Amino acid sequence: MVKKEEIAQAIVKAKESEKKRKFSQSVDLIVNLRKMEFKDPSKRFNLELTLPKGLGKNKKGALFAKRIMADEAAGKIDKIIREEELEKLSKKEIKKLAEEYDFFLADVTLMTVIGKKMGTILGPRRKMPKPLPDVKALPVILPKLKNTVLISNIRNGELVLHASIGTEAMSDEDLVTNAMTILNAIIAKIPSEKENIRSMIIKTTMGKPVKIEVAA
């Protein structure tokens, strides 16, 4: 069983061993699984978790909206793509949006159009828009999306799960809390923590990995 103290020690070591950069690096948790079969896609991981201590960085979001919703949402989200603009977007422009923005929301009535026009680009990037029924929901939805991570092997069924737990600028305690939130969510989805987790790794974006072995 992985102890909270082991994760805390690995986080400290990962941050201390890395030379200072001009930017705040992400701190990632990698969980290596074993003795699991993911040939059936329905058994694969596809979890969205809102981290209790946040991600320590500002994720950018965009909204696809018809006129009334676009007017009401003005100034409340990073970018608004109006219905008339959506219809004119080229594949190159869609790819640029996918690279620039971390998540998307959309007027419920535009979801079908977006799926047909942008699904092949946003889908593989796991950035298909979430439906927004009412602009009044933005103050609740946005903070969650800005601090949400995806834990998934849905595309390839690999025995490796990867997620950010924050940035090196965050306190060790907050990073530990986020890491434990992710780990507990993974443990809840597997038959046995002892049998199915081979090891875990904590690493910064450009740093060396710090490995935590899990005894079988």
Catalogue all structural domains in the chain, each as residue range(s) with its CATH number: 4-56+148-213 (3.30.190.20), 61-146 (3.40.50.790)
pTM of the model: 0.87
d(CA 116, CA 98): 16
Which pLDDT value is given to residue 193?
A: 87
Which pLDDT value is given to residue 23?
A: 77
d(CA 133, CA 111): 11
CA angle, 119 then 122 then 124, to 5°: 95
- Of the candidates 174, 211, 203, 183, the one whose C-alpha atom is nearest the C-alpha of residue 1 is 183
d(CA 139, CA 28): 27
Per the CB < 8 A criterion, the answer to whether 195 and 180 are in contact is: no
Which pLDDT value is given to residue 75?
A: 95
* Amino acid letter for position 80: I
Q: Residue 109 has which token pair? A: 């009535």
Per the CB < 8 A criterion, the answer to whether 58 and 80 are in contact is: no
Give the list of residues 6+ apart from residue 121 with CB closer than 8 angstroms, or none.
91, 94, 95, 98
Q: What is the pLDDT along the chain (216 residues), one digit of tens a residue?
A: 778 999 999 999 998 865 677 778 899 999 999 999 999 888 899 999 999 999 999 899 999 999 999 999 999 999 999 999 999 999 999 999 999 999 999 999 999 999 999 999 999 999 999 999 999 999 999 999 999 999 999 888 999 999 999 999 999 999 999 999 999 999 999 999 889 999 999 999 888 999 998 876
Q: Residue 132 has which token pair? A: 């927004």
d(CA 216, CA 197): 8
Which pLDDT value is given to residue 213?
A: 87
Is the four-CA dihedral 33, 38, 43, 47 of positive or negative sign? positive
d(CA 136, CA 20): 42
Which pLDDT value is given to residue 216?
A: 65
Per the CB < 8 A criterion, the answer to whether 164 and 55 are in contact is: yes
| CB-neighbour burial class of residue 81 (10 A; exposed 0-12, middle 13-18, buried 19+) | buried
